A and B are shown apart, each in its own frame.
Chain A
Amino acid sequence: MPILSWMRSLVRNLAAPRRVDEHLDDELESYVALVTAEKVRSGMTEPAARRAALLECGGVQQLREEVRDVRAGARVSALLQDVRIAWRGLRRAPGFTLTTTFTLALGIGAATVVLAVVDRTILRPLSYADSDALVTVLQGGTDPVAPANFLDWRRALRSFSALEAAEYWTPTLAEGDAERITALHVTPGMMAMLGVKPMLGRGYSSREVLDAPREVIISHALWQRRFGADSQVVGRLVTLDAQPFTVVGVMPPAFHFAPFWATRAELWAPLPLAGASTDRDASSLRVFGRLAPGVTRARAQAELTALASTLNAQFPGSSADMRVTSLREKAIGNVAPVLYTLLGAVAFVLLITCVNVAHMLLTRGAARQKEVALRIVLGASRGRVVGQAVIEATLLAVCGAAGGVAIAMAGIRALVMRGPADLPQLQLLAFDARVALIAVAIALFTALVLGVLPALLARQAALAASLRDGSRGTTGGRSRLRQLLIASEVAFAIVLLVGTSLMVRTYQAMRTIDPGFEPRGVMTMQLPLVKSAQPSAEQRLEWFRGTLDVARGAGADVALVNHLPLAGDEWGAPTFGGTTENATKGKGQRSIFRVVTPGYFHVMHTPILRGRDVSASDDRQHPGVVVINARLAATLWPAGDALGKRLTFDAADAPSREWLTVVGVAHDVKQSQWTAPSDAELYIPYAQAKAYLEGPTRGTSYMTLVARVQGDPARLVSRLRRYLHDADPMAPLTEVQSMDSVVAQVMVRATFVMSVLLALGAIALVLAAVGIHGIMSYSVAQRRQEIGIRMALGAGAGQVVRAVVRQALSVAGVGAVAGLVMSLALSRFLQSQLYGVSPADIVSYVAAAGVLGVAVLVATAVPARRAALVDPMTAMRSE
């Protein structure tokens, strides 16, 4: 068939079906008229001739259908017609349509949000080119590496096509209001290795590892926040830590680096490595690499291990336990179980949604059995009747999807605003084309699942028997199917509720953890070492003493510490107890290294268990002292009292060993992880901390002030701000936050998982209740006659209500048992998320069953009451 003429016909048939039909009618009419005229000529009367002519045609309507069927696009127009019929049908039943749409929208919306998060964080977490080949190389998989080691690796290792390093940096940006920002020093080849080009500008002028041009690349967010999104920003000079740097690039909005540890970095400048190229002690570099094409991680690890052992022989203790980890794992490793938990929860919500809608369609199908049978008798093909049911389900799914998209958009917005900062890339989440695609896929999947059921029913309905059978379509099989639906709805909801209560119990258990200090009422802020105070140890001591006096003047109980517990940054130092004199490098007990001023324990309410706090007299004129925590005391001196014992940071072969005397044992404090046992810790008095008093100011140029304030802390903050500004306008007060909020940050993931699960649990509960209510109402309506007979035979209203409720509860009970068994089997997978509660926690199971029981009772109450109001006479007459 010439394609052009076919296309023309198709367009004509679809665009103006009515005109084509009219033409056909005219043609048939003229045919009948011509035949009639013939017959009149051969002697028949006009009416008889016309009757005979019509008879010869064999039914004009059928003829018209037959002609229509051969037309181009017959199928398309039949489909459109079916869609129109389905749409009209749905509009005739607004209650059904609205409930179904709402149910589907809830399910699809929730599923879309969670899948979008999973997609963002697990499936495409890293916005770098070919990110599967990216790895990190770290000591023990977590700790930084010394510059000389990194440079040796770069020279020798062949498994990597690139090896670059990054170092934490918090420069003060002096552009208008001075602001300290989170930044990274990176080797100049970093961006090229990641495979991301700046959106503006061309990047660093050199890619040589030892070159450190004074250039910066800034993040999209910083560009908007501090540079007014100025398209001419490239080439501009900015002042960082009082040094001029040229802006050479703005990264695209999706670019984030690093994906772990320094997740909030907004600026990247070349790492000045030239001066540190032989340093094997100051481990400050996080090393990132790209595996050479075809090289596996195992092979790279083998090559690295071999090189590290050579280096270790040459420089003892310098290269122990170096590990190659995939960057993806490093970035998302520990959020994966969270996301799989949420994914599972969403699957259950979708299941409940489908069961609900399936029942609604079932009910509707039963109500329409006669109509369907009639259509089949009138010649509608079975395929078309089944197709009709599928089309109706699809239409509903489309409406549901539209509602779901609206819910998903709102949900995503809420997540971006309230989600935890440590879910990488969550901030990038947006309702984009990809998420829309996810929603459509879920909707199509639902339509398919839902389409199958009415299709099966339509087949049943095709039995013309139901035409003759003047009654409703409830058979024993059908009502068993209903009971199965109720039971599975209850079972799915129980699984979700058990998961939710386990997380709630976990959250409660976490709230009761004693971190070893009292966060309430403590304000914290970072105090810089102003430039004028930097030259000597005396000046540094004097500067901080003066600042503390100002703070005390504002009525606060204050002290300084190098890093707050739980604030994300921690330093470890290998420590040797006095009894293990032959301690070798690399074998020491790793302890969290804190530098404090006298009174720190008092401010934090951390109990000193034995001995004393560091005091004002513990300075450089007096022998070195240290306060250790109970854990370190038990590790180094398991047998006896730690007080008075000595420890050192220097290995046995060090040129000289500096000993510190233990003067106090403090209570353990949560250092990095809220739920993990406390690490070993030690506290050095600031006045004896060499690195802080004499070292270069990188990393040691600020201390954190902790202040226990009575009343409003604003006075303290504003007074300190003024004091700092007078001393050095380029040294702002930063990171002002309450200790409570520091703790809240640590709890954020547990809070997040709990609140999402609570939301999903609530959705599941509502859906299940709505579903059960629907099923019970229908079942009561079906049994009106029976109930009427019972009441006529003397059953009271109470008895009827009890009967209905008993029926619902017994079915729900079966579902609940199944759900509890399922939960028991599934909750094992939650284990890693739980704290202080067992996956088989009886309270959670009872609570879930109880809540659901109440929901079932409420959902049954209305239909039961309706049953009790049945008027026996009306009910029995109604058939």
Chain B
Amino acid sequence: MTNTQTNLLVGTLDVLILKALALQPLHGLGVSRRIEQVTGGTFVVKPGSLFPALHRMEEAGWLAAEWGASENNRKAKFYTLTAAGRRQLHAEVSEWQRIAAAMTLALQAT
């Protein structure tokens, strides 16, 4: 963990999780590590935020879960993106890009 680590912005966790799961099914730790990896260690998701979010998204029907074996043959719960989750990811990505563009514009303005 480095000190460049940043607190998650409100609303970013969902889109990060969806994005992390877009490539392949992952278990909880996998999601956490993937987010850490793709953000270059900027965002670290603690279990206290991760699991409530995963369960909330499962209840919402964006994720599906099933039990499987982890890389070192341990029992673990794997999450998969559902069709609804994929739609949600698209919606959130475009929303995020709009905000990011607007923010960049606003901050570069002289």
A: which residues have CB within 8 A of B?
1-2, 5-6, 9, 23-24, 26-28, 30-31, 33-35, 37-38, 56-58, 62-63, 66-67, 69-72
Question: Is there an interface contact between A1 and B60, defined as CB atoms closer than 8 Å?
Answer: yes
Q: Tell me if B86 is interfacial: C-beta within 8 Å of chain A.
A: no
Which residues of chain A come closer than 8 Å to B67, judged between CB atoms?
Answer: 26
Interface centre among A6, A23, A26, A27 (most CB of B within 10 A): A27
Cα of A58 to Cα of B27 in the assembled complex, Å: 19
Partner-A contacts on B (CB < 8 A): 27-29, 46-48, 51-53, 55-56, 58-61, 67, 70, 72, 74-77, 84
Q: Contact between B59 and A34 (Cβ–Cβ < 8 Å)?
A: no
Give min CB distance, A4 to chain B, whole Å.
8
Q: Which single member of B27, B59, B75, B76 contacts A72 (CB below 8 Å)? A: B59
Does B52 lie within 8 Å of A67, measured CB to CB?
A: yes
Whether B46 lies near A27 (C-beta < 8 A) is no
Of B27, B56, B60, B61, the contact of A34 (CB 8 Å cutoff): B27
User: B29–A31 contact, CB under 8 A?
Assistant: yes
The 3 tightest CB contacts between A and B, nearest first, are A5-B61, A70-B56, A30-B76
Query: Which residues of B are found within 8 Å of A33, using beta-carbon distances?
Result: 74
In contact, B51 and A34 (Cβ under 8 angstroms): no
| CB<8 Å pairs between A and B, sample of 20 | A1-B60, A2-B60, A2-B61, A5-B59, A6-B59, A26-B77, A30-B74, A30-B76, A30-B77, A31-B47, A31-B76, A34-B72, A34-B74, A34-B76, A62-B48, A63-B47, A67-B51, A70-B56, A71-B55, A71-B59
| B52 A66 Cβ-Cβ under 8 A | yes
B60 touches A66 (CB 8 A): no
Q: Is the CB of B77 within 8 A of A63?
A: no
In the complex, which residues of chain A have a beta carbon less than 8 angstroms from the beta carbon of B84? 2
Chain B: interface secondary structure?
A: helix
Q: How many whole Å from B45's CB to the nearest CB in chain A? A: 12
What is the interface of chain A mostly: helix, strand, loop, or mixed?
helix
Docked Cα-Cα span, A1 to B56, in Å, equals 10
Complex: A690 Cα to B27 Cα, angstroms: 111
B55 with A70: CB separation less than 8 A: yes
Pick from A2, A24, A27, A63: contact of B48, CB under 8 Å? A63
Name the contact of A58 in the complex, choosing from B29, B47, B52 (C-beta under 8 A): B47
In whole Å, how far is B99's beta carbon from the nearest beta carbon of chain A? 23
Q: In the complex, what residues of B have CB within 8 A of residue A26's CB? A: 67, 75, 77
* Chain A, Cβ-Cβ closest to B29: A34
**Closest residue on chain B to residue A59 by CB atoms:** B48
Q: Which residues of chain A are near B47, meaning CB under 8 Å? A: 28, 31, 56-58, 63
A31 to B70, CA, bound (A): 10
Q: How far is the CA of A62 from the CA of B52 in the complex (A)?
A: 11
Chain A residue, CB-CB nearest to B47: A57
Chain B residues closer than 8 Å to A28, beta-carbon distance: 47, 51
Interface centre among B59, B61, B67, B76 (most CB of A within 10 A): B59
Neighbouring A residues of B48 by C-beta, 8 Å: 57-58, 62-63, 66
Across the interface, do A70 and B61 meet the contact criterion of CB distance under 8 Å? no
Residues of A within 8 A of B75 (CB): 26, 30
Is there an interface contact between A56 and B46, defined as CB atoms closer than 8 Å?
yes
CB of B95 to closest CB in A, whole Å: 18
Do A69 and B29 contact each other (CB < 8 Å), given the known contacts A5-B59, A30-B70? no
A742 CB, nearest partner CB in chain B, Å: 77
A27→B77 CA distance, assembly (Å)? 6
Known: A6-B61, A26-B75, A58-B46. 15 other contacts (CB 8 A): A1-B61, A6-B59, A26-B77, A27-B51, A28-B51, A30-B75, A30-B76, A30-B77, A31-B27, A31-B28, A33-B74, A57-B48, A67-B55, A69-B52, A70-B52
Say how far B50's CB is from chain A's closest CB, in angstroms: 9
Closest Cβ of chain B to A21, distance in Å, is 12
A69 to B72, CA, bound (A): 32
| B1 to A: closest C-beta gap in Å | 11
Question: Which chain B residues border A37 with CB–CB below 8 Å?
Answer: 72, 74
* List of A residues within 8 angstroms of B53 by Cβ: 70
Asked if A9 contacts B59 (CB within 8 A), the reply is yes
User: Within the assembled complex, what's the spacing in Å between the Cα atoms of A515 and B72?
Assistant: 107
B27 — which chain A residues lie within 8 A by C-beta? 30-31, 34
Q: How far is the CB of B80 from chain A (nearest CB, A)?
A: 14
- Give CA–CA (A6, B57) in the complex, Å: 11
Complex: how many Å from CA A27 to CA B29?
A: 10
**How many angstroms from the CA of A38 to the CA of B32 in the assembled complex?**
13
**Contacting residues, chain A, for B74 (C-beta < 8 A):** 30, 33-34, 37
| Residues of chain B within 8 A of A72, CB atoms compared | 59
B70, A34: Cβ atoms closer than 8 Å: yes
Bound Cα distance A396, B7 (Å) = 49
A471 to B94 Cα, complex, angstroms:
62
Residues in B with CB closer than 8 Å to A9 are 58-59
Q: Knowing A34-B70, A37-B72, A57-B48 are in contact, say whether A5-B60 is a contact too (CB < 8 A).
A: yes
What is the minimal beta-carbon distance from A9 to any residue of chain B, in angstroms? Answer: 5
In the assembled complex, the CB of B11 is this many whole angstroms from the nearest CB of chain A, namely 16
Nearest residue, chain A, Cβ from B33: A38
Nearest residue (CB) in B for A6 is B59
Cβ distance A379 to chain B, nearest Cβ, rounded Å = 15
CA distance A67 to B54 in the complex (A): 9
State the Cβ distance, A23 to closest chain B Cβ, in Å: 8
- Bound-state CA distance A35–B50 (Å) is 14
The residue of chain A having its C-beta at the shortest distance from the C-beta of B76 within the complex is: A30
CA gap between A6 and B61 in the complex, in Å: 8
Q: Which residues of chain A come closer than 8 Å to B59, judged between CB atoms? A: 1, 5-6, 9, 70-72
Question: What separation, in Å, do the CA atoms of A201 and B77 have in the docked complex?
Answer: 73
A27 to chain B: which residues have CB within 8 Å?
28, 51, 76-77
* Distance of A72 Cα from B56 Cα, bound (Å): 8
Give min CB distance, A463 to chain B, whole Å. 30
Closest B residue to A3 using CB positions: B61
Shortest Cβ distance from A58 into B: residue: B48
* Complex Cα gap A35–B58 (Å): 23
Minimum CB–CB distance from A11 to chain B (whole Å) comes to 12
C-alpha gap A72/B59 in the complex (Å)? 7
Of chain B, the residue at the smallest CB distance from A4 is B61
- A residues near B70, Cβ cutoff 8 Å: 30, 34
In the bound complex, CA of A72 to CA of B67 (Å): 21
Alpha-carbon gap, A117 to B84, bound state (A): 59
Closest-by-CB residue of B relative to A10 is B59
B72 to chain A, nearest CB (A): 6
CA distance A275 to B75 in the complex (A): 103
